[in-house]
Structure 1
Amino acid sequence: MVTAKEKLTALIITYNEMGYIEKCIESVSFADEIIVVDSFSTDGTYEFLKNHPKVKVIQNPFENFTAQKSFTLKQATNDWVLFLDADEIVTSALQQEILTTISSKTEISAFWFYRQFMFKNEKLNYSGWQTDKNFRLFRKSKVKFSDCKIVHETLDVNGTSGILKEKLVHYCYKNYEDYKGKMLKYGRLKAIESFYKEKQYNYVKMVLKTGWKFFNHYILRLGVLDGKKGFIICYLNALGVLERYKELKRLEQKNELAYYLVMP
């Protein structure tokens, strides 16, 4: 276990995560503190967490991923933070590496984790995800979530960063409709982000970037070697890009309509 001076807080954000959150909580039970911020789940997630003896759950309205994670980070009482998504699992080997790392009095401020993507209960070895990594372990006092992004948030680190050897297991794909919903949601949030950065809808870019996303992940990033599941993942990832441009077009039209309505 970690020493009293180097305690660890596990942080998770949730919305309708029953079927995922149970295993996630179990995998971080070694942490000294577990805090979950729930954005008013309707599937029993909040009730499960509220009755869990090791979990402190707080409900907070969801604005975007960066805002929600920034709010959640502020809730931690310990400096060392392990920040997970509800569909991620810490293996026993990774647990040991985490504890060893924070007990070593390292000067490193934040650590990247590589992730093993899971398609239901099968490994997804390619499809663009083989080099995916995220900051998951860091000192609260040395980081902040960047305001530049509202989805696929970026962590600004004051100090050096490192990489842990063991992988975090990511159960990204529960079923077709669930993953499709995620990709469409991410696409719409990216559109809002682009809109506020004054990026304009372009039909040619929409076609080219959607096609490139599929070609890059399925052919160049070897999604074809993942078989049927690789095709599904690459198709839905490309669908998210298409949705981003379609939503950007809708936002521009809505903005133009509002402009004409308020004109004298």
Structure 2
Amino acid sequence: MELKEKITGLIITFNEEKNIQEIIDNFSICDEIIVVDSFSSDQTVEIAKQNLKVKVIQHRFEDFTKQRNIALDAATNDWVLFLDGDERIPTDLQKEIIAELNKSDKKEAYYFYRKFYFAGKPIHFSGTQNDKNFRLFRRSKCRYVADKKVHETLIVKGTTGILKNKLLHYSFDNFEQFKKKMLYYGLLKGSELADKGKKYSIITHWSKVAFKFVKTYFLKLGFLDGFDGLKISYLQSLYVNETYRKLKNSK
């Protein structure tokens, strides 16, 4: 099926040499691809530049939201498909994207549900069962909220839809990689709270850490994922702990 709309593929990168070519291949329906790279020290940029449809912009990393909005501003098409380096579009989802964009009554933005993989194994619970993000949208109607350093939030002026087929999310290869990322995200979130004038409270700190574990492992059925569910629940609570540790030290 031929896509009637022109679309720009967007990705932000840092040291993604193992993923960059595959993710560029996933943008096969796009006539333009923008890579916003925060000065990778590996071969990410060199590999990306070997692809004719790719434009590389290097910008010092400040936070995820700023990098994403830089990518949006660089696109020449109104419709954009925004992917992370660890996400893949299966064939059925690509067909659904084309079919949706060929409709006359399109929405302004579309959520994609994601199928989460940890160390190559599918995770069915632990909060991942409801995981969805905006990945396809009109940039003239959408913008990432400027004051979010992590867990970026897209504001949509108009209607939204949800695609049925899931995006594959190969998030972490191993425990240590997952842990490193959660600690980093916690630092960014803590800085965000400090910038907003949030005051540190030891009661809030530890109650939120405990609740995050309980929520992920019990309320979100993490125990049904076995030992992987336990590890994910621990790391989610570690993220919250690092958030409030950073906030405490920002006083």
* Range class of TM-score, shorter chain: over 0.9
Counterpart Cα distance in 2 of 1:28 and 1:92: 12
Corresponding position of 1:131: 130
1:22 CA drift (Å): 2.9
- Note if 1:182 corresponds to 2:184: no
Task: Indicate the percent of aligned positions where both proteins have the same amino acid.
Answer: 50
Letter in 2 for 1:137: L
1:24 CA drift (Å): 1.8
Corresponding position of 2:74: 75
- What RMSD, in angstroms, separates the aligned Cα atoms of the two structures? 1.2
Aligned ranges 1:1-264 → 2 under 5 Å:
1-3=2-4, 6-252=5-251
Does the aligned pair in 1 maintain the 2:20–2:47 contact within 8 Å?
no
Counterpart Cα distance in 2 of 1:174 and 1:21: 16
SS of the equivalent of 1:166 reads strand
Counterpart Cα distance in 1 of 2:101 and 2:3: 7
Counterpart Cα distance in 2 of 1:120 and 1:49: 26
TM-score by length of structure 2 reads 0.96
Letter in 2 for 1:173: F
SS of the equivalent of 1:229 reads helix
Corresponding position of 1:261: none
1:52 CA drift (Å): 2.8
Corresponding position of 1:259: none
Does the aligned pair in 1 maintain the 2:3–2:29 contact within 8 Å?
no
Counterpart Cα distance in 2 of 1:47 and 1:120: 27
SS of the equivalent of 1:163 reads strand
Counterpart Cα distance in 1 of 2:119 and 2:18: 11
1:77 CA drift (Å): 0.9
1:149 CA drift (Å): 1.4
SS of the equivalent of 2:104 reads coil
In the TM superposition, what whole-angstrom CA distance separates every residue of 1:70-126 from its partner, at most 9, and x where no partner exists? 111011111111011111101111001111111113341000111100112211110
Counterpart Cα distance in 1 of 2:107 and 2:22: 29
Counterpart Cα distance in 1 of 2:106 and 2:91: 24
Counterpart Cα distance in 1 of 2:73 and 2:30: 17
SS of the equivalent of 1:137 reads strand
State how many pairs are aligned: 250
Larger radius of gyration: 1
Letter in 2 for 1:248: L
Counterpart Cα distance in 2 of 1:26 and 1:51: 12
Counterpart Cα distance in 2 of 1:148 and 1:200: 17
Q: What runs of 5+ residues in structure 1 fail to find an aligned partner? A: 253-264
- Please, which moves more after superposition, 47-56 or 117-126? 47-56
Corresponding position of 1:256: none
1:65 CA drift (Å): 0.8
Counterpart Cα distance in 1 of 2:102 and 2:144: 25
1:33 CA drift (Å): 1.3
Does the aligned pair in 2 maintain the 1:80–1:102 contact within 8 Å?
no
Does the aligned pair in 2 maintain the 1:29–1:54 contact within 8 Å?
no
Q: What runs of 5+ residues in structure 2 fail to find an aligned partner? A: none
1:28 CA drift (Å): 1.8
TM-score by length of structure 1 reads 0.91
Does the aligned pair in 2 maintain the 1:21–1:87 contact within 8 Å?
no
